[in-house]
């Protein structure tokens, strides 16, 4: 699933391409992607003519502030990613008009297509078809329970060590699970929780209540460091994620433990292990991370 760095990369790129443009039309071959309103026909009717006034990220969500007091919310889920370009529909499949990254197989699972003003198209490629798209009134969006409950953004200036320590003070559970809890901190998932804990030399199964001040400082510093680098490098594309041009992110050169089971730890040479934690994988170095 695209995490904070991937979603931030997508939003930053989209800002340069679609701000000020208007939705002209929309197509889908999988109406279930549209969660609100109830039918695709209604969604199509309401989105047409809406102008994109602002683009921003909250957690793993992409938010388009539109004219007429509306908000378009897109969550890419497991395999979804947004693409910009021009395509033509041939025998039920969208073919890019230009050669390049958009031709890569992972970018061809297009199930939602928007036409924008200025002869531009915005596509959602989603192999597993789990992504969700919702169109809200601004008032309704403000009262979204799931959105209200999101934790703080870890890369903002006010996300200090003191705030981080305070958030974890009364939390229970394993540190990896806590870091991935969107109501605790927004935007961190499986990839970056593994990378953060390796950098901080903390075992993913370590109980939060047993973490010492020094452990917390190292996790906080690692969290900020890893996420900033990942944003700068355009995210991680070990799986399905691609940027809006269909290109891979560049974080893979810094990936230390995630999906490196059986390889040597780049820090101490010990073999990386993979364990299951509440149905999710955790990768770690048994020597470095205690």
Helix (H) or strand (E) holding 61: strand 61-66
Interatomic CA distance for residues 186 and 184, integer angstroms: 7
Interatomic CA distance for residues 152 and 108, integer angstroms: 34
Residue 103 in contact with residue 79, Cβ under 8 Å?
A: no
Residue 132 in contact with residue 77, Cβ under 8 Å?
A: yes
Helix (H) or strand (E) holding 47: helix 40-47
Q: Which residues are catalytic?
A: 2-3, 60, 280
Please name every residue paired with 56 in a beta bridge, in sequence order, or none if there are none. Answer: 63
Strands 34-36 and 132-137: parallel
């Amino acid at each position: 699933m695209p995490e904070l760095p991937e979603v931030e990369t997508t939003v930053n790129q989209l800002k340069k391409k679609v701000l000020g443009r208007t939705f002209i039309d929309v197509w889908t071959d999988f109406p279930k992607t549209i969660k609100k309103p109830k039918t695709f026909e209604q969604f199509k009717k309401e989105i047409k003519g809406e102008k994109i006034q602002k683009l921003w990220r909250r957690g793993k969500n992409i938010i388009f502030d539109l004219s007429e007091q509306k908000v378009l919310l897109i969550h890419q889920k497991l395999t979804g990613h947004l693409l910009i370009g021009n395509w033509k529909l041939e025998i039920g499949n969208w073919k890019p008009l230009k050669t390049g990254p958009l031709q890569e197989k992972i970018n061809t699972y297009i199930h939602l297509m928007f036409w924008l003003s200025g002869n531009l198209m915005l596509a959602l490629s989603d192999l597993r078809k789990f992504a969700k798209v919702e169109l809200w009134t601004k008032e309704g969006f403000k009262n979204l329970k799931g959105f209200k409950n999101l934790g703080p953004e870890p890369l903002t200036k006010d996300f200090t060590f003191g705030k981080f320590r305070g958030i974890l003070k009364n939390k229970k559970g394993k540190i990896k699970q806590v870091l991935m809890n969107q109501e605790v901190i927004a935007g961190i998932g499986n990839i970056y929780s593994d990378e953060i804990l390796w950098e901080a030399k903390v075992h993913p199964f370590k109980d939060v209540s047993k973490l010492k001040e020094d452990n917390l400082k190292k996790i906080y510093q690692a969290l900020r460091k890893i996420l900033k680098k990942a944003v700068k490098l355009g995210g991680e594309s070990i799986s399905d994620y691609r940027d809006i041009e269909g290109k891979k992110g560049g974080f893979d050169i810094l990936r230390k433990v995630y999906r490196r089971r059986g390889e040597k730890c780049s820090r101490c040479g010990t073999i990386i292990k993979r364990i299951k934690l509440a149905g999710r994988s955790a990768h770690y170095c048994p020597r470095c991370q205690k």
